[in-house]
Amino acid sequence: MSRKGIKYLLLLGLVALLTILPLIPGALNTKWMTTITFATYFAIFVLGWDILCGYTGQISFGHSFFVGASGYTSALLSLYFKWPIWATIPCGVLASLALGLLLSVPALRLRGPYFSLITLIMPLIAIKLVLIFSSITGGELGKSNIPAIPTPVPPCPSDAGPDVCRALFIQYQQYQYYYALGLMALVAIALLIISTSRIGKILEAIRDNEEAVEAAGINTAKFKILAFGISSFVVGLGGAFYVHYLETVLPQEVLSPTRSTEIIIASVLGGMGTIIGPLFGAYAVRLGQEGLREAANHIPALQFLNDWALFIFLALLIVLIFVARQGVLPALVGAPYLRKLKKFRKLGQQSVASKEVS
């Protein structure tokens, strides 16, 4: 089967699994349902990162900037102007898109560390702005009571017992779970189509050798701007829905450098520049962390994990990245292919070397 086929199959499998999971009685408690919903939003951010950074090789260390830009725009518009969310979410996405296109201007001129430095600073500036305008943004404490994504589930009647309310709450969570899943599936399919199309091929080629792409008659600037546009659009879309799911907007939730770092970790772990790898990486990072915490809470012998969870997790990551540099998923799926690739490369080098000697 072609690599393209494998990607679609893996996506189908993942979406099918996540669709069925809540329907199996007892498979998911509400806690894990919300954990997966969080992971699904996180996966959208990671997907948006990968189409830009994984494909063109320009690494952004500050993608939470787009989550925050879109999230704050949509949240504040709906909070202060009482606009419905179907109007504020597009505004948030447009804000993110505009900033993405703006950022592509220095990105076209700056290479390597300079570009990365800019992306690192962007969310820090945004956090500063949030604090400066704290009368509007709520500063460090953020703003709550952001309108939620509406569901058909009625609010709990005041005269109902706790059991009724609980059932309604679970139902509500389930709706939110499927909203996130639907959005992620749409984004993932769109990005798989784009990344396996000519656009994806050109972006990969730019990562490999930009000058050679220009020499092939392709305007690399245009395609890099396009990648910025797609990326900021996708991350903005996820970010806007995310704050309405949370019903709060907090700088440490949507803008923090930790979030940006996690995005990179998930992509690298899954295998950047493959779309499907980072998607699995996103779930692995989020659910893995939560799993460790859960284990610490339930098994007394593992209690030390409470303090050590993050440490162990990060240490494991370093090992994994070291062992499987092209990402864990490609290493698993494409092991034979990659081994061949390595052999080819070695052979190639030998033949070049022998030429130089002769």
Partner 1 sequence: MRILDVQHLQKSFGGLMAVKDLSFHVDQGEILGLIGPNGAGKTTVFNLIMGVLKPDSGTIRFKEKEITSWPTYQIVNAGVARVFQIARYFKHKNVYENIEISTIPNEVFAFKDAAHLHEKVMTCCECTGLCTCHEHTGHCNCCTQLPGMLPQGALRRLEVARAIGTDPDLLLLDEPFAGLSPQEVDEISHLITQLRQEGQTIVLIDHNMRGLMRLVDRVVVLCFGEKLMEGSPQEVSENPRVQEAYLAGGRV
Position 3 contacts partner 1 (CB under 8 A): no
Position 6 contacts partner 1 (CB under 8 A): no
Shortest Å, Cβ 42 to partner 1: 28
| 357-to-127, 346, 354 alpha-carbon distances in Å | 57, 16, 5
SS3 of 67-102: the string is HHHHHHHHHHHHHHCCCCHHHHHHHHHHHHHHHHHH
- Indicate the residue among 128 and 198 with the shorter CB distance to partner 1: 198
Shortest Å, Cβ 199 to partner 1: 7
- Indicate the residue among 129 and 221 with the shorter CB distance to partner 1: 221
b vs e for 23-60, b when ≥16 Cβ sit within 10 Å of the residue's Cβ? eeeeebeeebbbbbbbbbbbbbbbbbbbbbbbbbbbbb
Q: What residues from 201 to 240 belong to the interface with partner 1 (CB under 8 A)?
A: 201-202, 204-205, 208-209, 211-220, 222-223, 226
Position 351 contacts partner 1 (CB under 8 A): yes
Residue 145, Cβ density class (10 Å: 0-12 exposed, 13-18 middle, ≥19 buried): exposed
Position 109 contacts partner 1 (CB under 8 A): no
Shortest Å, Cβ 84 to partner 1: 32
| 318-to-147, 186, 245, 305, 315 alpha-carbon distances in Å | 40, 31, 32, 18, 5
Shortest Å, Cβ 231 to partner 1: 15
Structure tokens at 179: 């909203």
- Indicate the residue among 74 and 220 with the shorter CB distance to partner 1: 220
Specify whether the CB–CB gap between 92 and 71 falls below 8 A.
Answer: yes
Whose structure tokens read 């990969």?
Answer: 204
**3 state DSSP class of 1:** coil
- Indicate the residue among 36 and 227 with the shorter CB distance to partner 1: 227
- Indicate the residue among 202 and 263 with the shorter CB distance to partner 1: 202
CA 299/CA 301 separation, integer angstroms: 6
Position 349 contacts partner 1 (CB under 8 A): yes
Position 336 contacts partner 1 (CB under 8 A): no
Number of residues that bind partner 1 (CB under 8 A): 32
- Indicate the residue among 5 and 161 with the shorter CB distance to partner 1: 5
Q: What residues from 142 to 201 belong to the interface with partner 1 (CB under 8 A)?
A: 198-199, 201
Q: Which of 145, 144, 141, 146 is nearest to 251 (CA)?
A: 141
Footprint of partner 1 (CB under 8 A): 198-199, 201-202, 204-205, 208-209, 211-220, 222-223, 226, 341, 344-345, 347-349, 351-352, 355-356, 358
